[in-house]
Amino acid sequence: MWFRASLYGLLGIVTALLGVAAKPLIPPGLAGSIGAGSVGNILGILATSMLAVTTFSLATMVSAYGTASTTATPRAAKLLIEDTTAQGSLATFIGAFLYSIVGLIALSAGIYGDSGRVLLLAATIAVIVLITVTLLRWIEQLSRFGRVAETINLVETATRRAMQHRAGRPWLGGAPWREPPEDAVAIESERVGYIEYIDMDRLGQFSDEHGVDIHLDVLPGSFAVPGRALARISGPFDEQALSSFRKAFVVGDSRTFENDPRYGLVVLTEIAVRALSPAVNDPGTAIDVVGTVVRLFTGWARGRAKKEEDIEISHSRVFVPALREEDMFDDVFPAIARDGAGMREIGIRLQKAFGALDDLGYVHYEDPIRQQAGDACRRALATMAFEPDRASLLAACRPELVGDVLPAAPRPPR
């Protein structure tokens, strides 16, 4: 935000300097004819109003962060904090305040003559137009800022971006993972935390310089601790270079959305689980999350449909494990099925979601879909005591997905 606010302050300074230089170019009577002498009052009003709007906007943003942490999940508040529209609006208001202050100081110092006020008035009108557009956008965003639905959309967007990037580069630019030889040397982490980023270019350079193969044991999102291998190196290398090797693994205190698609799925699941808690009792939000996850998994299946031989490999001696669809399903469905087991609508929605994903025909979804569909069906049947609810769930389940968990039942229209 400081960059945009600084630009407005710089605009005020540049306007003051141009006002001095432009005096000979502006007709003397023009300032009086267009009312340029009132620019000081306009700047005073602008400074006062922008300070109030900035204070109000900041209070609203802090309140939205707290609301998102309470009604959705604290992990999603980070996306609200990083929202560029909110930051841009606040920076515009602060910058307009700085511009007004700089203009008032220049007027008080007598830098502007009557001709220079014309230029200041023109710049002030342009700033007012920009403020008006920003304020209208900001008012529109305030109507949904921090709401659960908006938070879900932000998490979905961040997760989709990460999944699309990983689907296009399933091995992060390296080669498909393979078992390292028995004499491979394990390189352990010196820090405790989550892997936020892996610098594949640094690893590729290390493998080329030392002529070794690198087999990664972790991915972004993995928890690193001393004693757990980050990677295994096969071949002779200089152990003094290990400090440079470890710098390729950025370890932080928390997971991030950018390089960790599973983290977005976990956050969506947390939103659904909170909505299903007895204190909130909002199954509609959980159903919304299930639909969001189906969209994300559909995009993942389409992105991974690309043939492996068509995927670019930039570092052929760095072997990276791909994300497992089983793990991605485990991040989402078991928790929702557990907390929504007694709710008829949740059970039916889950079975429809499994059916929709199965219809994609993506081979890597077959086993996890059948595992999750069967587990969800068993859990729901063990919890539901009302027979009509059980019958509705049985009708929604596909026998080919849940297997022998239930007797054959007619499939309802989709």
For β-strands 213-216 and 318-320, DSSP reports them as: parallel
User: How many structural domains does the chain have?
Assistant: 3
- Residue 33 — very low, low, confident or very high, per pLDDT cuts 50/70/90? very low
Residue 326 included in any domain: yes
Phi, psi of 215 (to 5 degrees): -115, 110
pLDDT in tens, 230-277: 999 988 877 777 888 888 999 999 999 999 999 999 999 999 999 999
CATH number, domain containing residue 201:
3.90.1170.30
β-bridge mates for residue 187, sequence order: 231
- Residue 31 — very low, low, confident or very high, per pLDDT cuts 50/70/90? very low
> Is residue 400 domain-shared with residue 276, that is, in the same domain?
yes
pLDDT in tens, 273-312: 999 999 888 999 999 999 999 999 999 999 887 776 678 8
> Is residue 52 domain-shared with residue 123, that is, in the same domain?
yes
Q: What is the pLDDT of residue 404?
A: 67
Q: Which two tokens stand for residue 263?
A: 């983290």
> Is residue 178 domain-shared with residue 279, that is, in the same domain?
no
Write down the pTM of the prediction: 0.83
Phi, psi of 214 (to 5 degrees): -120, 125
3-state secondary structure of 332: helix
> Is residue 103 domain-shared with residue 86, that is, in the same domain?
yes
Q: What is the pLDDT of residue 222?
A: 94
Q: What is the pLDDT of residue 408?
A: 43
**Which of 66-70, 216-220, 274-278, 397-401 has the least mean pLDDT?**
66-70
Q: Which two tokens stand for residue 89?
A: 């609006």
**Which of 98-107, 114-123, 160-169, 321-330 has the least mean pLDDT?**
114-123
Final residue of a structural domain among 228, 252, 276: 252
- Residue 354 — very low, low, confident or very high, per pLDDT cuts 50/70/90? very high
Q: Which two tokens stand for residue 59?
A: 């209070």
3-state secondary structure of 319: strand
β-bridge mates for residue 216, sequence order: 231
Q: What is the pLDDT of residue 25?
A: 61
Q: Which two tokens stand for residue 397?
A: 């389940």
> Is residue 6 domain-shared with residue 142, that is, in the same domain?
yes
**Which of 32-46, 70-84, 159-173, 363-377 has the least mean pLDDT?**
32-46
> Is residue 195 domain-shared with residue 226, that is, in the same domain?
yes
Residue 91 included in any domain: yes
Cα three-residue angle 347-352-357, rounded to 5 degrees: 130
Residue 155 included in any domain: no
**pLDDT of 114 higher than 90:** no
Q: Which two tokens stand for residue 8?
A: 């407005």
Residue 160 included in any domain: no
Burial of 297-328, coded b for 16+ CB within 10 Å and e otherwise, reads: beebbebbeeeeeebebebebbbbbbbebeeb
3-state secondary structure of 320: strand
> Is residue 357 domain-shared with residue 302, that is, in the same domain?
yes
> Is residue 247 domain-shared with residue 280, that is, in the same domain?
no
Instruction: Please provide the DSSP assignment of 191-259 as one string.
Output: S-EEEEEE-HHHHHHHHHHHT-EEEE---TTPEE-TTSEEEEEES---GGGHHHHHTTEEEESS--SSS
Final residue of a structural domain among 146, 162, 189: 146
Decide which of 39 and 184 is more confident: 184
Residue 411 included in any domain: no
Tell me how far apart the alpha carbons of residues 62 and 15 are, in angstroms, rounded to a whole number.
34
> Is residue 276 domain-shared with residue 247, that is, in the same domain?
no
CA-closest candidate to residue 266, choices 76, 401, 33, 393:
76
Decide which of 10 and 333 is more confident: 333
307 Rama class: left (phi>0) / alpha (psi -120 to 50) / beta: beta
Mean pLDDT comparison of 34-43, 47-56, 268-277, highest-scoring range: 268-277
* Sheet with strand 185-188: strands edge to edge: 175-176, 318-320, 213-216, 229-234, 185-188
pLDDT in tens, 136-180: 988 888 877 778 888 999 999 999 999 999 998 999 999 999 999
CA-closest candidate to residue 244, choices 203, 188, 191, 194:
203
- Residue 59 — very low, low, confident or very high, per pLDDT cuts 50/70/90? confident
Domain span including residue 246? 171-252
> Is residue 231 domain-shared with residue 280, that is, in the same domain?
no
> How far apart, in Å, are the Cα atoms of 387 and each of 4, 5, 139, 247, 284?
62, 63, 49, 59, 23
**pLDDT of 219 higher than 60:** yes
Averaged confidence pLDDT in the chain: 85
Tracing tokens 């990460």 back to the chain, one arrives at 162
CB 224 within 8 A of CB 195: yes
> Is residue 292 domain-shared with residue 371, that is, in the same domain?
yes
Q: What is the pLDDT of residue 68?
A: 79
Residue 201 included in any domain: yes
**pLDDT of 319 higher than 70:** yes
β-bridge mates for residue 194, sequence order: 223, 252
> Is residue 78 domain-shared with residue 142, that is, in the same domain?
yes
Q: What is the pLDDT of residue 35?
A: 47
